[in-house]
Amino acid sequence: PVSGQPDYLERLNPEQRQAIETIDGPLLILAGAGTGKTRVLTTRFAHILLTGHARPHQILAVTFTNKAAREMRDRVGALLGGPVEGLWLGTFHSICARMLRRHAEYVGLTTGFTILDTDDQLRLVKQVMEPYRVDTKRWPPQGMLGVIQRWKDRGLTPDRVTPAEDSEFGGGCARRVYADYQARLIAVNACDFGDLMLHMTEIMRTRPDVLAQYHRLFRYILVDEYQDTNTIQYLWLRLLAKRAGQPSNIACVGDDDQSIYSWRGAEVENILRFERDFPGAKVVRLERNYRSTAQILAAAAGLIAHNDGRLGKTLRPGREDAHGEKVQVVSVWDSDEEARVVAGAIERLRADGHPLSEIAILMRAGFQTRPFEEQLMTRGLPYRVVGGLRFYERAEIRDCLAYMRVLAQPADDLAFERIVNVPRRGVGTAALQKLHLEARQIKGPLTAAVARQMADGTAKGKSKAALQSLMQGFERATETLAREGQVVAVEQLLEDVGYLAMWREDKSPEAPGRLDNIKELLRAIGDFQSLEGFLEHVALVTEAEDSAAEDKVSLMTLHGAKGLEFDSVFLPGWEEGVFPSQRSLDEGGLKSLEEERRLAYVGLTRARRRATVLHAARRRIYANWQDAIPSRFIEEIPADYVEHSGQAMQERRLTAAQPSVFAFGPVSSRRPNYGHAPRVTDVYDASPTDITVGTRVFHQKFGYGIVTDVDVDRLQVQFEKAGEKRVMASFVEVAV
Ligand code: ATP
Ligand code: MG
């Protein structure tokens, strides 16, 4: 380099360079989307290492997603010319999990503690609520979990929730439920996601020796997406950053306009408080956006200008290439056409040589992906749903994981409960209740209670034989684990206890797929050094992180897209009630509407070259078609940067003069019903119009069944397991 600067600094603008070369002391980088905040953070990481200020494991770097963590690890590796080991780099949760394993005993856990998934949490909170006789119709356990989670987000342990702060929820027992829930977690040696932060913060608050250890360890702290930290994350960071007699070497980057997680307790005030928290903090602003074209940038800036109370930032185009295209706004008739238009546009992009990995469809809510998936699949366009129904959330995978958890930790009662009667082995509710009683008496886990009942002859009959063979399965697997490793042990276990046989004998069409998933799971375990290591990985993966390098269209929510960028971005469903969401409108407050607007801003600013916004004239809400009004956000984009189209809609309007019930009416009335014999239909090709008497359908709650009667939007279905039921047509899918 001419100036004698290292190469990696050459490619930055002066403000960015300043942010990187300010190594010591608190630093806040406050800047709009695409200004290189994340890039600065990454380069700063490398710079600290290259200038010898710290060794790799002495830097704590917090990202918002595992994906971002991986990107940062790759970028640092590239800058340093090879992979770097032992980094404290990851999400708040993954870093806390790693810390907590070292100090688990301070909160009454052992180092092998389990991290629960939401199923387990729900089961646990249900159990805990039982003695309080809460009316669960009015106050469902999910809601109670939400209350507890919000307390955790605010850093409140049960003893810190004052009576005044007790929630209305549950009619005044929430605080006690919270305390009981925490006690149960400790008893089964587990913690939920929120506990990772809560426990670690608590330990650092009360154990100066532990805190001092981390003060010595972490010389530098880097935090991305600081605007979305919640109170507990903020407290945790502050504890780590404030070192007696030493500078707080904490660098945070953020953008108040992209704060989109207040519903999860994020406090944008944290960013505003930074200078007060860390006196002498240097604040750097970056103004040049290197991501998007000038048109997209101006559109996004015009939109976000409708929010009040912003810190206010300038954004100037930093890219030298042309002005770019205007933001396209396309009016479509309904969500099917919307999906067709988007898929068609993607087909054309691909034909023009654009890689699919540079294309994203970003929606307001997860459930919106379905029509897009169908269209992409029909046209043979590969895609991935990021953060959709993840691999690890599938029932068969959850079952296997539960078996593995019991194998790794026999005290894991929640996992044991999940599998004790899967496959069915005749261990009913009564038998399980007896086990619980026994466990309470011996103050041990359920597996110990089983052993006890076997020994003293309490267990009888069918459930005795069943439990015995189950426990033998675990014993054999434990031996195999020590001898031959986790892959062989787990496979043997699943075979021994009859779990694999259950799916082999299952005649339903999806059973082979489930067996494939299990095979895939067994393969994945082999990539880890231990069963525990694998289970930890699974508990912490929060998005589909696989195959990121493959050439696929990305489908995800706007929330999940934070920090990412794509050449082409499609933004469907910009209608009042969808985006902004009905909920934000119902709440009526300016605050929630402004958060929706920030979300729209995040969406637009993900695009490098092309942004396409779509809105439909009609949308089906459950079984009813409703007229939809274009989102106010469309009008808020300055007209100069927008190009409207929607020929399709006008054409359709003409044809819509025909009896509309046929074209757009409730699902099942659209096609005359001749009482067909059962048909085999590919689930992806079928639209709900294909539902007639005899159609095999799938219902989320009741499973598979055959339609026996159709009445406008209601179906009579004979379900295989649940018996005959009347259900809404829009709640079922046509099954294979
Ligand atoms: P967001 O707010 O969306 O998280 P960000 O501020 O973190 O955005 P980055 O993702 O770091 O922005 O950068 C946006 C894009 O601009 C990236 O592709 C990055 O490589 C590029 N970029 C950043 N700085 C420069 C620069 N000085 N010269 C050229 N490209 C740059
Ligand atoms: Mg970023």
Cβ neighbours around 4 below 10 Å, total = 5
Tell me how far apart the terminal alpha carbons of the chain are, to the nearest angstrom: 62
374 is catalytic: no
If you take atom 8 of ligand 1, which residue's CA is the nearest one?
34
**Structure token digits, residue 149:** 């989670």
- How far apart, in whole angstroms, are the C-alpha atoms of residue 13 and residue 151? 42
Pocket test for ligand 1, best of 8, 12, 38, 258 (most atoms within 8 A of CB): 38
- Tokens 């034909």 locate to 351
How many angstroms is it from 61 CA to the middle of ligand 1?
A: 18
Contact 612, 567 (CB under 8 A): no
Residue 190's SS3 state is strand
Residues making up the binding site = 31-38
Q: How far is CA 218 from CA 202, 356, 679, in A?
A: 19, 40, 64
pLDDT on residue 3: 54
Pocket test for ligand 1, best of 291, 569, 601 (most atoms within 8 A of CB): 291
Using DSSP bridges, classify how beta strands 59-63 and 88-91 pair: parallel, antiparallel or unpaired.
Answer: parallel
| 11: CB partners within 8 A, 6+ apart | none
How many angstroms is it from 66 CA to the middle of ligand 1?
A: 19
Residue 669 sits at the vertex; the CA angle it makes with 664 and 673, to the nearest 5 degrees, is 140
Kindly list the averaged pLDDT for each block of 10 residues, start to end, along the chain of length 736. 66 92 93 92 91 93 82 82 85 92 94 82 90 88 91 93 82 92 92 94 96 96 93 95 90 91 77 87 92 94 90 77 85 92 96 96 84 86 74 79 94 91 88 90 92 84 88 96 93 95 83 81 84 84 52 90 94 94 82 92 96 91 76 95 74 38 31 29 34 76 80 76 76 69
Cβ neighbours around 7 below 10 Å, total = 8
Residues making up the binding site for ATP = 31-38
Residue of 15, 153, 195, 224 marked catalytic: 224
36 CB less than 6 Å from ligand 1?
yes
- How far apart, in whole angstroms, are the C-alpha atoms of residue 570 and residue 368? 13
Residue 699's SS3 state is strand
255 CB less than 6 Å from ligand 1?
yes
Main-chain dihedrals φ then ψ at residue 285, nearest 5 degrees: -110, 135
* Among the bound ligands, the one closest to the CA of 63: 2
- How far apart, in whole angstroms, are the C-alpha atoms of residue 405 and residue 114? 8
317 CB less than 6 Å from ligand 1?
no
The per-type count for the chain, helices as H runs and strands as E runs, is 30, 24
| 60: CB partners within 8 A, 6+ apart | 88, 89, 95, 218, 220, 221, 222, 240
- How far apart, in whole angstroms, are the C-alpha atoms of residue 210 and residue 103? 8
- How far apart, in whole angstroms, are the C-alpha atoms of residue 661 and residue 650? 19
Atom of ligand 1 nearest to the CA of 33: 2
| 119: CB partners within 8 A, 6+ apart | 398, 418
* Among the bound ligands, the one closest to the CA of 29: 1
| Nearest residue to 626 (alpha-carbon basis) of 635, 617, 634 | 617
ipTM value:
0.99
8 CB less than 6 Å from ligand 1?
no
189 CB less than 6 Å from ligand 1?
no
Single-letter residue type at 20: I
pLDDT on residue 685: 25
Contact 204, 155 (CB under 8 A): no
**Structure token digits, residue 448:** 């110990």
Atom of ligand 1 nearest to the CA of 40: 11
- How far apart, in whole angstroms, are the C-alpha atoms of residue 453 and residue 446? 10
Atom of ligand 1 nearest to the CA of 255: 2
How many angstroms is it from 292 CA to the middle of ligand 1?
A: 10
User: How many CA within 13 A on the CB side of residue 238?
Assistant: 19
- How far apart, in whole angstroms, are the C-alpha atoms of residue 298 and residue 300? 5
The reply to whether omega before 630 is within 30° of 0 (cis) is no
Single-letter residue type at 322: A
pLDDT on residue 680: 26
Contact 702, 733 (CB under 8 A): no
Single-letter residue type at 221: I
| Tally of residues, the chain | 736
Atom of ligand 1 nearest to the CA of 225: 4
How many angstroms is it from 38 CA to the middle of ligand 1?
A: 7
Residue of 120, 225, 374, 491 marked catalytic: 225
How many angstroms is it from 31 CA to the middle of ligand 2?
A: 10
Pocket test for ligand 1, best of 10, 16, 39 (most atoms within 8 A of CB): 39
Cβ neighbours around 399 below 10 Å, total = 21
If you take atom 29 of ligand 1, which residue's CA is the nearest one?
290
- Tokens 């989670």 locate to 149
DSSP labels for 565-627? -EEEEEE---BTBTTTBHHHHHH--HHHHHHHHHHHHHHHTTEEEEEEEEEESEEEETTEEEE
Residue 32's SS3 state is coil
Residue of 552, 606, 608, 610 marked catalytic: 606
Contact 556, 387 (CB under 8 A): yes
10 is catalytic: no
- How far apart, in whole angstroms, are the C-alpha atoms of residue 523 and residue 519? 6
In which element (H, E) is residue 452 found?
helix 446-456
